[in-house]
Amino acid sequence: MKIAFLFPGQGAQVPGMCKDIYDSYSEARDVYDKASKILNKDIAKLCFDSKAEELNKTSNTQIAILVSSLAICNVLKKYNIKPDICAGLSLGEYTALIESGYLSFEDGLKLVQKRGQIMQECNSSEYMMAAVIGLDSKIIEDELSKIDGFVVPANYNYSMQTVISGTKDAVELASNILKEKGAKRVIPLNTSGPFHTSMLNDASLKLKEELKKIDFKMGKTLVLKNLDGTEYKENDDFIDILSKHMVSPVRMDRIIKKLNDGNIELYVEVGPGKALGGFVKKENRNAQVISVENIEALNKLLELVKE
């Protein structure tokens, strides 16, 4: 069975996420414990006991989702469930790189912690993001180009859902225009930074300095890039790719197309939330998808791979 692992990004977090897996498996607890020692921060407490306001801080969110996803991966290894290819949305790409061996566990944790802190500094009530549903991305691009203000596509989630990002006034104006053009819904997102846009150029440069400290290597499993949906290759400049990643749109649509074209038999979303599995199903109604964020879903997966 050809398996793809998909790793969630910021926005999937919820207090108490994945706690039943933590309680049930020492393999999961080991990952939280190791992460807590490396970062000198109680990650289990952050994930399970924090109020939403605390967990939703970018500096906390990213490391919490990363560790939760990697903990579930460690449980899946116990049952010899391994991916043939990995991908993730934004932050999730780092999870994929760590899980696949391109980044060491310790380096990856420290890098994501730093990334979260850098992006936290970019939070501002001046900016907002919104998901545009039911409208082709080409129409969205065309309409945004006409608006006098800063608003651009930030996430191409699938062919008929695009997240836009920019100044609050410009995003609100764009939202009204895109509804008139046929968007089924435009949903403001609970974010306060112009993520994946040129407004984070300074943050990208700060991250680049951190990336220069990291020893990257080719991993054991293929990983797809957010930048363009292609695979990481041995001669790739990881520092350049991951610094551009912060200011470039996430092309999850291209990743999903690449996976669909690659005859994936089972998509396993690893970590909190079900958004990525939903994106896959929108593009391929017949895809076999399971989102492993709790014991119930884990048990369903175990039954599935036995068949």
Identify the residue whose tokens are 């006034």.
169
Nearest to 3 by CA among 71, 89, 79, 64: 79
Q: Mark residue 249 as left, alpha or beta (left: phi above 0; alpha: psi -120 to 50; beta: remaining).
A: beta
Whether residue 196 lies in the annotated active site: yes
Residue ranges of the alpha helices (H) in 50-148? Answer: 52-55, 58-78, 91-99, 105-120, 137-145
Choosing from 137, 165, 192, 196, the catalytic residue is 196
Residue 83: DSSP 8-state:
-
Choosing from 68, 90, 192, 291, the catalytic residue is 90
Whether residue 245 lies in the annotated active site: no
d(CA 146, CA 141): 9
d(CA 270, CA 8): 7
Neighbours of 142 (CB within 10 A): 11
What are the catalytic residues?
90, 196
